[in-house]
Chains A and B, each alone.
Chain A
Amino acid sequence: MGDLFSYSLSDFVVYSAPTLFAMTEDMNRALYPLLILLAVLFAVMAWLGWRKSRHFIPVALFGHALMCCLVAWLYFGDYYASLDWAAVYYSRLFYALTVLLAISALWQWRSRSGLSDFRPSLLLGVVYALTALFILPILGWYDGRSLTETALPGLTPHAIMLSLTGVLLLSDNYLLKMLLLGPLIWGGVTLISSWPLGLLQGQVVLPLVILAIITTIVSRIAYKSHRALRIYRPR
């Protein structure tokens, strides 16, 4: 057991930040046409959300299933696998999420559940989606990534996990929010490498997911007890 405590987080990092950035640059260069399709997907999800369409949640879940699959297959299965032996395990996590999200999308399509009535959840959900799209790339720049080395939403894990957290916050289905376990696991895993490398992009995932989980718990308590009527808007 003493041996275990002799490890530091940096012992689990087998690459340097510039190497990770160069890998991302290579990936961006090779896959850039795909980014146009992903931008369209994001636009469709945003439009449905803006209209408060009953199709928003299932489409967003299906979109995230697609992106998780892309990340598992391309990011972890190909590019990142060349740097880190643990990529195969991360890939499995994202494939598992792909399946769960696809099943959830079908279920939500049939059950026609809608957006959450808990205002803080709605607000945070939108903030997380915007963070995934716009704030994370800025944090990447702060980390030292150049424009061409930017980790783009849809193809890299942090942004997907944050936008998925946002979608789950927006949903009014509490069972669906169990899927927050995926972003929670990823947030913990990525902190192990992001912390010693000093990469802010990866470090923000875990605290934001924990905040989302706390918000979900609070909303559940509020719904159950009816003691927070000022912030809870009944149906």
Chain B
Amino acid sequence: MGPLNRRAFLQLSSSVLVSGAVNAAIPAVSPLQKAIPSSGELIPVIGMGSWITFNVGNSVTQRKARSQVLDEFFNAGGRVIDSSPMYGSAEDVLGYCLHELDRQQDAFATTKVWTSSTQQGRVQFEDSKRLWQLPRFSVYLVHNLNNWRGHLPYLQELKQSGQIKYLGLSTSHGRRHSDVEDILNTQLIDFVQLTYNAADREVEQRLLPLAQEKGVAVMVNRPFQTGRLINRVKRELFPEWGAAMGCDNWPELLLKFVISHPAVNCAIPATSQVEHMRENMGANYGRLLADYERKRIADAIRDL
């Protein structure tokens, strides 16, 4: 090793400074991740939904604002992004934002087929690829079980041809749970998306244990009960026991409740505000909660 001359000293010290600055922009610890049972692939526990929040039409101002939200999401270690043709312009806006941020390769893109026509489903898949500006999707789901018998064979074709990595179905608001149960028992799927939060816990009885047993990954929608849970808790001071669980705010605590269930792989809260995204992404770090801690959260929500 040669002597440390002035030039070498400047190079060394500047590289230390630059790496320090870069490290300061990246969270110091890795995000919490869970493995998809069918492949073992790890995905971060906090994803992002786009229902309502990313349906902003052609407004350039609003699209740029959503790009900032998405930027915050990626910077906080997020990857899973969920949408559907049902959500108006959300797919188009996501495509715009991903392109603007040049983060297409970082997205674990999830979308859905939402039509009662099997033939139209094929057209919808091509439309979704065009709108997202992506060659393939990570997850492709049958939205609200709409014509799932007709669509599943096509989804299997897509998976075999490499145009999607995982297939599955979605439901929300606790609808058609018996149908979901039948499908979990009879079909080979990778993902199921359903509603679960500290107030709506019906899926704990049968669907979550069944998904775990069958090796199906669970993506949770409406973890805040479409904002109603946040409205309920925002009047309350954040409890000390919540801080003891490693959380800084109510959204983080409510998300930790969801993702700490052993069967759940990720939750996909939706927001249109950078500040709220920052709060949500707090749950992407730290530790998962124990059963007694989850029970405490559920009890607190029930008693509000």
Question: Given A14-B51, A19-B55, A19-B56, A3 and B88 touching (CB < 8 A)?
Answer: no
Q: CA of A166 to CA of B112 in the docked complex: distance in angstroms?
A: 44
Chain B interface mostly: loop
Q: B87: CB under 8 A from chain A?
A: yes
Which of A7, A14, A26 has the most B CB atoms < 10 Å from its CB? A14
Closest Cβ neighbor of B272 among chain A residues: A16
Q: Are B226 and A22 closer than 8 Å at their CB atoms? A: no
Find residues 43-84 in chain B having any chain A CB closer than 8 Å to their own CB.
51-53, 55-59, 61-62
**Shortest Cβ distance from A23 into chain B, in angstroms?**
5
Q: A47: CB under 8 A from chain B?
A: no
Scoring B residues 81 to 93 as 1 if CB is less than 8 Å from chain A, else 0, what string do you get? 0000111110010
Q: B130: CB under 8 A from chain A?
A: no
Q: Are A3 and B175 closer than 8 Å at their CB atoms? A: yes
Residue numbers in A under 8 Å from B51 (CB-CB)? 14
Q: A142: CB under 8 A from chain B?
A: no
Q: Are A22 and B86 closer than 8 Å at their CB atoms? A: no
Q: CA of A10 to CA of B222 in the docked complex: distance in angstroms?
A: 13
Q: Are B175 and A23 closer than 8 Å at their CB atoms? A: no
Q: Are A26 and B52 closer than 8 Å at their CB atoms? A: no
Q: B286: CB under 8 A from chain A?
A: no
Q: Are A14 and B87 closer than 8 Å at their CB atoms? A: yes
Q: B262: CB under 8 A from chain A?
A: no
Question: Given A3-B176, A15-B88, A16-B272, A10 and B226 touching (CB < 8 A)?
Answer: yes
Stretch from A81-89, A113-121, A155-163, A214-222 at the B interface:
A81-89
**Shortest Cβ distance from B168 into chain A, in angstroms?**
20
Question: Given A10-B226, A14-B51, A22 and B61 touching (CB < 8 A)?
Answer: yes
Which of B52, B62, B88 has the most A CB atoms < 10 Å from its CB? B88
Q: How many residues of B contact A (CB 8 A)?
A: 22
Closest Cβ neighbor of A13 among chain B residues: B52
With beta carbons under 8 angstroms apart, the residue of A10, A13, A19, A85 that contacts B62 is: A19
Q: CA of A11 to CA of B52 in the docked complex: distance in angstroms?
A: 10
Residue numbers in B under 8 Å from A7 (CB-CB)? 173
Residue numbers in B under 8 Å from A3 (CB-CB)? 175-176
Residue numbers in A under 8 Å from B176 (CB-CB)? 3
Q: CA of A82 to CA of B55 in the docked complex: distance in angstroms?
A: 8
Q: B153: CB under 8 A from chain A?
A: no
**Shortest Cβ distance from A1 into chain B, in angstroms?**
12
Q: A79: CB under 8 A from chain B?
A: yes
Q: Are B59 and A22 closer than 8 Å at their CB atoms? A: yes
Residue numbers in B under 8 Å from A84 (CB-CB)? 88
**Shortest Cβ distance from B120 into chain A, in angstroms?**
12
With beta carbons under 8 angstroms apart, the residue of B57, B173, B226 that contacts A19 is: B57
Residue numbers in B under 8 Å from A79 (CB-CB)? 57-58
Q: CA of A22 to CA of B65 in the docked complex: distance in angstroms?
A: 13
Q: CA of A6 to CA of B200 in the docked complex: distance in angstroms?
A: 13
Find residues 47-95 in chain A having any chain B CB closer than 8 Å to their own CB.
79, 82-85
Q: Are B85 and A23 closer than 8 Å at their CB atoms? A: no
Q: B174: CB under 8 A from chain A?
A: yes
Q: CA of A16 to CA of B66 in the docked complex: distance in angstroms?
A: 14
**Shortest Cβ distance from A15 into chain B, in angstroms?**
5
Q: Are A22 and B175 closer than 8 Å at their CB atoms? A: no
**Shortest Cβ distance from B27 into chain A, in angstroms?**
30
Question: Given A82-B88, A84-B88, A85-B86, A14 and B55 touching (CB < 8 A)?
Answer: yes
Scoring B residues 162 to 177 as 1 if CB is less than 8 Å from chain A, else 0, what string do you get? 0000000000011110
Q: Are B56 and A22 closer than 8 Å at their CB atoms? A: yes
Residue numbers in A under 8 Å from B92 (CB-CB)? 82
With beta carbons under 8 angstroms apart, the residue of B53, B58, B89 that contacts A26 is: B58
Closest Cβ neighbor of A22 among chain B residues: B59
Residue numbers in A under 8 Å from B62 (CB-CB)? 19, 22
Chain B positions within 8 Å of A, measured between CB atoms, are 51-53, 55-59, 61-62, 85-89, 92, 173-176, 226, 272
9 nearest A-B pairs in the assembled complex, by CB-CB distance: A82-B57, A22-B59, A83-B88, A3-B175, A14-B88, A15-B55, A82-B89, A83-B57, A19-B56
Chain A positions within 8 Å of B, measured between CB atoms, are 3, 6-7, 10-11, 13-16, 19, 22-23, 26, 79, 82-85
6 A-B pairs with CB atoms under 8 Å apart are A14-B86, A15-B52, A15-B57, A82-B88, A83-B56, A83-B89
**With A14-B51, A14-B86, A16-B53 already in contact, 7 other A-B pairs whose C-beta atoms are closer than 8 Å:** A15-B56, A15-B57, A19-B57, A19-B62, A23-B58, A82-B88, A82-B92
